[in-house]
Structure 1
Amino acid sequence: MKSKPTIKIIATGGTIAGAGSSSTTTTGYKPGAVSIEELLEVTPNLSDFSNIEVEQLFNIDSVDMTTERLLALSKYVNETLLDEEVDGVVITHGTDTLEETAYFLHLVIKSHKPVVIVGSVRPATAISADGPLNLYNGVKVACERQAHGKGVLVVLNDRVGSARYMAKMATTTVDSFRALEQGYIGAIVGGEVHFYYKDITKLHTMDSIFDVNTIVQLPEVPIIYSHLGDGRFLYDAAVQVGSKGIIVATAGGYTISKQAEQGIQDALKKGVVIIRSSRLSTGIVSRTSMDNQQHYIAGESLNPQKARILLMLALTVTNDKDEIQQFFRTY
């Protein structure tokens, strides 16, 4: 029996691997400039409680995490977790799209083993770099038996959150990731991991029907952001490029301008699936009689970027709007 769990660290780049021109540079740096081996050199004592294996899968800015790379990452994680010698996975990732990758993995990973995604808001070269501690804490969480079966976990700033709930809320502060209404599910204090809850209520990982092994390509799904006086031309453009779905980030949650509505109705006639989400930080976009009349799907508590992730996956298994609506209630 192994004395210490084996954790595979999969590096993808981002700010946690970023480099600036000086130790006081916290903006305007180059993401993905530092290797995982270099990052591990400034992350002490991991060998005290874990056996570490590493893989530099990508070294990119997180906005360059294309759907093709997302599929490649998820397939690699699933393959890694099939190895009986691997007890958990930690993924380093840029924070700007971290919540999207985390939620995608939350829906397609087929294992009860811990999968933890970490990042940082400040580059590796900064005097106040938060990456090493986040990586250390991420490995700590991945080693915990209590982390099994909770889906993909996000660990930053001494907090543990579910990929379903966590979102980036600020641009440059180290406490930028929060789950404002649902809350964190745990914390790391003095090097010890404390979980507050046993289960995640929404379906994930082993209970998800989505299988990346059957997906060759994810459908095109843009997000269109509502604003004062918005028109229809973005909806027309989305239809022209072959989008299978559109996420509408409405101004409040329920209102859509008359001009945008015209574009949406024409998109619906051409078979495009429309999700009504909200550009606001919190709240639930619930289904109303308007959705029945206009043939929309309500995004429930998912923000636009996570609604896009779920719709892309949903469209790989069905075009039935009632079934897709049920996905938004259960995932």
Structure 2
Amino acid sequence: MTLLLVATGDTIAHRAAGVATGRELLELAGPPPQRVVVEDVLAEPSWDTSVSTQFALARRVRKALAEDEFDGVVVTHGVDSLEETAFLADLLAGPARGGIVFTGAFHPLSAAAPDGPANLAAALTAAADRALRGAGAVVCVRNELHAARWVRLADGFTSAPHPMLGRLVDGRVRLTSTPPTRPPVVGGEPESDVALVKTYPDMPASLLMTVTDLGARGVVLEGTGAGNVPVELFGTIMELSQMDIPVIVASRAHTTDIGMAERMGAIGANGLTATQARLALMVALSKGGGVEAALRYFGSL
């Protein structure tokens, strides 16, 4: 069995004398459970990760399992946008035969008690465990396993209101819930130009037209807890839908209801967060198709 470790730097690799390489991180994590091939990837800080970097990491994960015959992949990533990149990798992975595990650290190597080496060791163990085959991408931190679709950055990582997928116990994966349904497979390159707009009372409808005038091929609106958006946006939502530019509405509370906006042509995010919905819309528009493609994709998530 051979695992691929993709190291992107960030907090897990920060030390007083610079940034540790993937090979150095591997040495700090202790003897791995299987043979590990290391690849270092130049990436922006996690708080400013570009879409192109996220796409590149997701594609590398997919290729590693589908073409390069690795048995599992571990990606070290900064925690700020780790959940987003992990979810994109989950969307693009298809019927992956091996484990896909993302991990990171809240304390750098230069701290008195760095958590990165232990998290990496656990992630490698998880990726080698057959229990995660077919489960899609997961996040492994503090011996906890969270499905990429459910994970949220809070005080650490949490899957709430969904159950945690499992944990590492005595060097083995112990699943405590059923993994979420795998997303549909869509070929082609994801559409990178999708806008995300947080709604607020008295928000001018012109903001939506501004992002599409600048080239956005789709828009995600973050509505209130019940999925509602200001009534001032209804006319513009209808207009964009008629222009074949899909408008997705996500709820701040992750509900599936989107209120009256659905009557205007908006599409519900099916419980995804606004940031997840943006990534999902990118994938949905991989082969063009506009509103109809978005309806099919989000309807099958």
**Alignment TM-score, normalising by the size of structure 1:** 0.82
User: C-alpha separation between the residues in 2 aligned to 1:219 and 1:80?
Assistant: 22
CA positional deviation for 1:79 = 2.7
- Deviation at residue 255 of structure 1 after TM alignment: 2.3
The question of whether the paired residues in 2 share the 8 Å contact of 1:10 and 1:91 is answered with yes
2:5 aligned with 1:34: no
Are the equivalent residues in 1 in contact too, given 2:237–2:265 (CA < 8 A)?
no
- 1:200 equivalenced with 2:179 (yes/no): yes
| 1:299 positional shift | 0.8
- Structure 2 alignment gaps of length 5 or more: none
CA contact (8 A) 1:35 1:59 kept: no
C-alpha distance in 1 between matches for 2:128 and 2:299: 31
Instruction: Please state how far the C-alpha of 1:11 moved relative to its aligned partner.
Output: 1.0
Amino acid across the alignment from 2:19: A
Q: State the match for 1:74 in structure 2.
A: 58
Q: Secondary structure at the match of 1:234?
A: helix
Which of 106, 116, 120 matches 1:131? Answer: 116
**Distance 1:131-1:155 versus aligned 2 partners, 3 A rule:** same
Residue 9 of structure 1: how far off its partner (Å) = 0.3
Once the 2 structures are TM-superposed, how far is the Cα of residue 105 of structure 1 from its aligned partner? 1.0
Identify the match of residue 210 of structure 1 among 176, 181, 186.
Answer: 186
8 Å Cα contact 1:276-1:285 kept in structure 2: no
Residue 324 of structure 1: SS of its match in structure 2?
Answer: helix
Q: Is it true that 1:154 corresponds to 2:139 in the alignment?
A: yes
Which amino acid letter does the alignment assign opposite residue 87 of structure 1? D
| Correspondence for 1:181 among 149, 157, 161 | 161
CA distance in 2, matches of 1:14, 1:302: 26
Note if contact 1:278-1:303 (Cα within 8 Å) is conserved in structure 2: yes
Q: Over aligned residues, Cα RMSD in angstroms?
A: 2.3
Aligned-partner Cα distance in 1 for 2:234–2:13: 43
1:308 aligns with 2:278: yes
Conserved in 2, the CA contact under 8 Å of 1:11 and 1:59?
A: no
In the TM superposition, what whole-angstrom CA distance separates every residue of 1:241-280 from its partner, at most 9, and x where no partner exists?
1111111111223322233445444444443211110233
Q: Secondary structure at the match of 1:60?
A: coil
**Structure-2 residue corresponding to 1:191:** 171
Q: Distance in 1 between matches of 2:144 and 2:219?
A: 33
1:143 counterpart residue number: 128
**227-236 or 156-165: bigger deviation:** 227-236
Q: Deviations over 1:144-201 (max 9, x none)?
A: 111111111111121111111111124xxxxx2111022111111343321124x434
CA drift at 1:133: 1.1
Q: Equivalents in 1 of 2:102, 2:23: separation in Å?
A: 17
| Counterparts in 2 of 1:18 and 1:268: CA distance versus 1, 3 Å | farther
Cα distance, 1:65–1:127 mapped onto 2, change above 3 Å: same
| 1-structure distance, mates of 2:9, 2:201 | 37
CA contact (8 A) 1:67 1:218 kept: no
Aligned-partner SS, 1:69: helix
**1:118 deviation in Å?**
0.8
Indicate the SS of the match to 1:153. Answer: strand
Which residue number corresponds to residue 286 of structure 1? 257
Identity of aligned residues (%): 25
Q: Tell me: CA distance 1:222–1:41, structure 2 relative to 1, closer, same or farther (3 Å).
A: same
Structure 2 CA distance for aligned equivalents of residues 251 and 286 of structure 1: 10
Give the distance between the partners of 2:234 and 2:284, measured in 1 at CA.
24
The TM-score with structure 2 as length reference comes to 0.89
Q: Write the distance in 2 (CA, Å) between the matches of 1:195 and 1:300.
A: 25
C-alpha contact 1:254 1:285 (8 A) present in aligned 2: yes
Q: Report the count of equivalent residues.
A: 299
How far apart are 1:6 and its partner, in Å? 1.6
Alpha-carbon distance change, 42 to 273 in structure 1, aligned in 2, over 3 angstroms: same
